Structure 1
Amino acid sequence: MIGDIRALLARHLPGYEVHTVVPAGQGLDNTVHLVNGELIVRARVADPAAVRREVALLAAIKDLVGVRVPEVLFGDDKEGVIAYYALPGKPLDQHPVRDPKRLAEPLGRLLSALHGVPRERARELAPLDVYPAPTLLHDAQLEYRDVERHVPEEQRPLVERFLAAEPPPEPRELRLCHNDLGAEHLLADPGTSALTGVIDWTDAAVTDPAHDFAKLYRDLGPEVFDLILASYDGSFDAEDRRRALFYARCGLIEDLAYGLSTGPSRYAEAALAHLEWTFTG
C-alpha cells in the first residue's frame, strides 16, 4: 500500500517529496495514511461516483457549515482515494477533551447549516439513503446475539427491552446529513476543548436528520446532546428525539459487534462505556 501511495502522489502532486508514510487509522470503509506528518491520504473500495460526490460536497459546504472540513487536494476516482492536508486537532474518540460542553455550540451550528441546505441542492450533493427502522432493529437483534455475553449482566435488560420494543415511525422529512457523526470523525483540541474540524464525509446523504444527532448522543452523552439542541435552528420534537435514540442504540450494538470482531477494540470499549446513558435516555 505504501508503494501505491508514493506512486499516487507522484502522479497527482508531481514534485512533492515523500519522506514518511505511516498508517493513521482504519474504519469500516476507509484506510488512512499520513504522509510527511501533514498529508492525509484516505482510501476505500473504489467507487468513482462516491469519490466525485464527496469532493463536490466538501467544496460546496466548506464555507457553509462554520466548522473546518477537509479541503481536497485531489480525488482519484479509479483508486477510490481522496487526499488533503491534515486538519488541526485530535480525533475525539482517542483524545477526550476536558470540557465537552464546549463542543455543543459549534456542533449545533454545523447541523443547523447542514440540515438547512435546500432539498433540491441537497439531492445534487448527496444520494438518498433511507434504511427502514424495522430493518435496523432486526440487524441489531442479530448482532446482539453475538455480543450479549460481553455486556455486563446488570445492563442486559436495558438492551433487551429496547430490542423487544416497536421501532419508531419513519421520519417526516429528509435533509442533507453527515450521516456518520461519531466521535472518531470529530477533531478537537484536547487542551482547549475547541472543535477544530469534522472529517470523513464519505457517507453523507439525504436522510433522516436524527441520524446526525444519534451518534452525538451515544458518544457525548445526554447533557451535551441537549446543549447541541439548544444551538440548533431546525425543528426537533419528541418523535425526532425518539428516532435519534433508536439510531444511537442500534449504532452502539453495531460498534460493539465491530470492535469485538474485525475492528479496533476501542469501538467495543467505547460502546460498553456509553451503554448505560445510551439505553436509559
Structure 2
Amino acid sequence: MTPATPDIRALLARHLPGREVRSVAAVGQGLDNLAYEVDGELIVRCAKEPDPAATEAEVAVLAAVAPISPLPVPEVVFNDPAAGVIAYRRLPGRPLHRHPVADPLRLAEPLGAFLTALHAVPPAPLGDLVPLDRYPLADLREEAAREYESVAAHVPPEHRRLVEDFLAAGPPADPFAEPRGEGPEEAPAVTAGVRLCHNDLGAEHLLADPGTGTLTGVVDWTDAALTDPARDFARLYRDLGPEVYELTLARYAGRLDDAVTDRVRFLARCALIEDLAHGLGPGPRPYADAALAHLVRTFTG
C-alpha cells in the first residue's frame, strides 16, 4: 500500500476481520489526507505521508474532545499509526464548502457553544501529544506575500489593491511572548493564553444537514494544536463571513483578549491567500474559486 493508492480492503481485513466490504468510494482529499467511504458507514482517512505520532495524537485529541463537544466528532473504530490511517463511523450531513446552508447565520449559536467547550479543554494533559503553535504572525504575513506573488494575476484587477494594502501593512501584535532562552525554565508557560484548537476549522471540515441547516459534525483534526483561539475563529471569518463570526463570538463564553478580532481578520486574510494559491496550484480548483468569491468580504469586513 502506498499513500497515493491505499488498499482500503486490505486495511479493513486486517483491522476488522470478517467484515464483508461491499463498496469503497473516494470522497475527498486535502493537503494531508485522502478519505474513503466504506459501505456508506465508515470513513477511512489515510495520510499522504504517514506520521505515526501525529495519528496517535489525533486519536488522543478526539478522545479528549468527544465527551465535552456539543457537536459530534469522529468516533474512531480503528487506527493504524504506521499507515497514517484513522477509521471512524460516518457522521451525517455534508461539508459546508460543497453544500452551503440556506441561512448561515443559524450556525453561529452551535459554533459558539462548540468553541466554548473546545477551548475549555485543559491544555496541560495534551502538551506531550499536540504541538504548541506559536508561529510568528510576521512570518505568516511573509508567506502570504510570497504566495500572492504567484497568483496575483488571477485576482480581478479592481480587487488587487485590497490584498496589496493588507500585505503592505504590519501584522498585529503576537499574542504570545517570545521565548527568553532555550531551557524550559526560561520559556513562557505553555498554558499562558493557549487553548486546544481544531486549527483548521474551515467549511470543508464542518458538516451540516443541507435541508435544515443543522450542524452535524466537525471532522479532520489533523492540525489540532495548542495555540491562539483566534485561529479557529479566523477560518469561520474567511468561509462563513464577518457577520457569522461576530454572532459566533457573541455566543462564545470563553475568555479572549481585546485584540482578538485584529488577529482573526489577519489570519483569515492570510488563510484566504493560502487557499487561493493551493487551489491554483496542487490542490482542487474549488479552493481557489471559494477564495475569489470571498475575497472582498474577507478583506473589507
Conserved in 2, the CA contact under 8 Å of 1:122 and 1:175? no
Give the match for residue 139 of structure 1. Answer: 143
2:120 corresponds to 1:106: no
Q: Secondary structure at the match of 1:107?
A: helix
- 8 Å CA contact retained: 2:109, 2:248: yes
Within a 5 Å distance, the mapping from 1:135-214 to structure 2 comes to 135-172=139-176, 173-214=193-234
Q: Distance in 2 between matches of 1:3 and 1:64?
A: 33
Name the amino acid aligned to 2:120.
Answer: G
1:78-125 Cα offsets, whole Å, 9 max, x none, are 100000111000000000101111111111011111111223234255
SS state at 1:78 partner: helix
Residue in 2 that maps onto 1:129: 133
Which stretch of structure 1 is more off in the superposition, 141-150 or 118-127? 118-127
Label 1:237 to 1:129 Cα distance change in 2 as closer, same or farther (>3 A). closer
User: Are residues 1:74 and 2:115 paired?
Assistant: no
* Partner residue in 2 for 1:215: 235
Cα distance in 2 between the residues matched to 1:84 and 1:3: 16
Q: Greater helix percent: which structure?
A: 1
Q: 1:114 to 1:179 in 2, by over 3 A?
A: same
The reply on whether 1:4 has 2:7 as its aligned counterpart is yes
1:153 deviation in Å? 0.8
Structure 1 residue 37 displacement after superposition: 1.7
Q: Which amino acid aligns with 1:18?
A: V
Q: Which amino acid in 2 is paired with 1:110?
A: F
Show structure 2 runs of 5+ residues with no match.
177-192
1:249 is the counterpart of 2:269: yes
**Residue in 2 aligned with 1:54?**
58
Relative to structure 1, the CA distance from residue 102 to residue 124 in structure 2 (aligned partners, 3 Å threshold; closer, same or farther) is farther
Cα offset, 1:3, TM superposition = 6.5
Tell me the residue number matched to 1:22: 25
The corresponding residue for 2:187 is: none
The total of aligned residue pairs comes to 281
Q: Distance in 1 between matches of 2:234 and 2:20?
A: 42
User: In the alignment, residue 79 of structure 1 is paired with which amino acid?
Assistant: A
1:41 paired residue number: 44
Mapped to 2, the partners of 1:219 and 1:186 lie a distance apart of 11
**Equivalent in the alignment of 1:278:** 298
Distance 1:11 1:129 in 2: 35
Match of 2:184 in 1: none
> Which structure 1 residue ranges, 5 or more long, are not aligned?
none
Note if contact 1:100-1:193 (Cα within 8 Å) is conserved in structure 2.
Answer: yes
Give the whole-Å Cα distance in 1 for the aligned partners of 2:278 and 2:44. 23
- TM-score norm. by structure 2 comes to 0.91
* Secondary structure in structure 1 of the residue aligned to 2:98: coil
The match for 1:85 is 89
> SS of the residue aligned with 1:154?
helix
User: SS state of the match for residue 83, structure 2?
Assistant: coil
Task: Say if 1:219 and 1:274, in contact at 8 Å, map to a contact too.
Answer: yes
Displacement of 1:28 in angstroms is 0.5
Question: Contact 1:159/1:279 (CA < 8 Å) preserved in 2?
Answer: yes
